Structure 1
Amino acid sequence: MSTIAENIAKVGARIREAAQASGRDSASIGLLAVSKTKPAQAVREAFAAGQHDFGENYLQEALDKQASLTDLPLIWHFIGPIQSNKTRPIAEHFAWVHSVDRLKIAERLSTQRPAHLAPLNICLQVNVSGEASKSGCSPDELAALAHAVTQLPNLKLRGLMAIPEPTDDPVQQRAAFARLRELQNGLDLGLDTLSMGMSHDLEAAIAEGATWVRIGTALFGARDYGTPNP
């Protein structure tokens, strides 16, 4: 069985190879380790291998993990669906939120962001595949939402995020990621972040401009979902 450190090295090699194939600098592509359902010890092992950015989907699980890892200088990203009653702890305990899809949530995060912390880095989640089961604003709603979020005082709009419909077809993978990139370019807001690509499609995402790839299974192995705290 591969260790987490070995897996991080393998994923790093995939990122570098994909960047080279696309004529990109691999330093412009961040690896976000998705540690949901994994124990704090797995995060420690990843940190020991040089990983600093971690993504969590389930708030209570993330807060418990953070509390047991306060000795490490970790950067926490919230990447799951956000309920209105969960915005305060997200605003207080994360540096990034990748999954904002409506103005009400953005307004609450801005209001509840502690004054002593830097502005919260925000990505707007877009439902590029039009799946009814997926979170994310529609492409038609994006421009109004993005411009409204730029006016909120304690947030910094960085870019867009998407979780396209899964497919093994590289052409379809690239088409979905290209759509997100085109939507971002069309906003003309000088945004610098595209959060897209996971373990099975990171190469296609990098080819279309990803600046964060969100990798869980390829680093930590298959997940046991059990009954995580929301």
Structure 2
Amino acid sequence: MSEPAMSEVVANLNLVRERIAEAAVRSGRAPDAVRLVLVTKTVEPSRILEAVRAGQADLGENKVQEGGRKADALAGEPVRWSMIGHLQSNKVKDVLRFADEVQSLDRRSLATALDKRLQSVGRGLDVLVQVNTSGEASKFGLTPEDVPAFLKDLAAFETLRPKGFMTLATFTPDETEVRRCFRLLRDIRDRARQDAPQGDTLTDLSMGMSGDYQWAIEEGATVVRVGQAVFGPRPLPDSHYWPGAAGTA
């Protein structure tokens, strides 16, 4: 009896994994040096489960309500959820019900809200600091100049564990401009590892989505956020799911 055909989701996932490994090797690192966060926005839990059953453990969501529903649907599965979209302070309680990581920490008020809730439930949280490397007013994130002072402020929040940085490059086919954004974040990370209170814990660079993740890896990404390259195009534009940030995750 022949084996059942591989699903499109699993085939695409395997291809993305291969390309991640190849880009890591091109950048002088081990094939498994880059973590894939599979972006699940608009994707039904049944299709997400196909990827999970193929060994995909890291999942990312942009909207708190949608992430909570999917986390409930996949309860019991060996997955780790990351919040990768803009997070409002009044959604902190809800996001902490499912997220093990927040990649979009971009202001002190959010850090305060997260810390207060984390203190009350007695847990910590991995966080990445979002930086606006494109300089576009429509994008969220700290300016590069504001990062050192923000990291000093973060040192006061014992429940928050800063692990590095996240960015969205300019949404353009111009490879030079996209790589400039990635190199800028890498430089910010390298300086922070020398100067920031958190020092060597700031290792992660979350950068690169479906259209540019191989460039991102070649520029030093340790985390890529890929959705459409695995699940296919979404029915609505990214601006519906991640206001203020054009891009293709």
Q: Indicate the SS of the match to 1:95.
A: strand
2-side partners of 1:9 and 1:166: how far apart?
25
What is the TM-score normalised by the length of structure 1?
A: 0.94
Aligned to 2:117: 112
Percent identity between matched residues is 38
Instruction: Please point out which of 114, 121, 128 is paired with 2:126.
Output: 121
Q: Does 1:215 align with 2:220?
A: no
Alignment of 1:148-163 (within 5 A): 148-163=153-168
CA distance in 2, matches of 1:30, 1:6: 18
| CA displacement at 1:204 relative to structure 2 | 1.1
Residues 17-96 of structure 1 mapped to structure 2, 5 A cutoff: 17-96=22-101
2:204 alignment counterpart: 193
Aligned to 2:247: none
1:225 matched to 2:225: no
Task: Give the C-alpha shift of residue 22 in structure 1.
Answer: 1.4
The partner residue of 2:217 within 202, 206, 221 is: 206
Residue 126 of structure 1 and its aligned partner are, at CA, apart by: 0.4
- 2:17 corresponds in structure 1 to 12
CA contact (8 A) 2:106 2:130 kept: yes
Aligned to 2:188: 183
Moved more, 181-190 or 49-58: 181-190
Query: In structure 1, what is the Cα distance between the partners aligned to 2:122 and 2:36?
Result: 23
Unmatched segments (≥5 aa) in structure 1:
none
- Give 1:73 shift: 1.9
- The SS at the match of 2:75 is coil
Report how far residue 225 of structure 1 moved: 3.1
Query: Any conservation in 2 of the 1:5–1:49 contact (CA below 8 Å)?
Result: yes
What's the Cα RMSD here? 2.0
Maintained 8 Å contact 2:39/2:59? yes
**What's the offset of the Cα at 1:153?**
1.3
How far off its partner does 1:171 sit? 2.3
Number of matched residues?
230
Cα distance in 1 for partners of 2:155, 2:185 equals 19
Q: Which moved more, 1:161-170 or 1:133-142?
A: 161-170
Q: CA 1:117 to 1:47, structure 2 compared with 1: closer, same or farther past 3 Å?
A: farther
Distance in 2 (alpha carbons) for counterparts of 1:99 and 1:42:
25
Between 162-171 and 42-51, the greater mean CA deviation after superposition? 162-171
Secondary structure of 2:97's counterpart equals helix
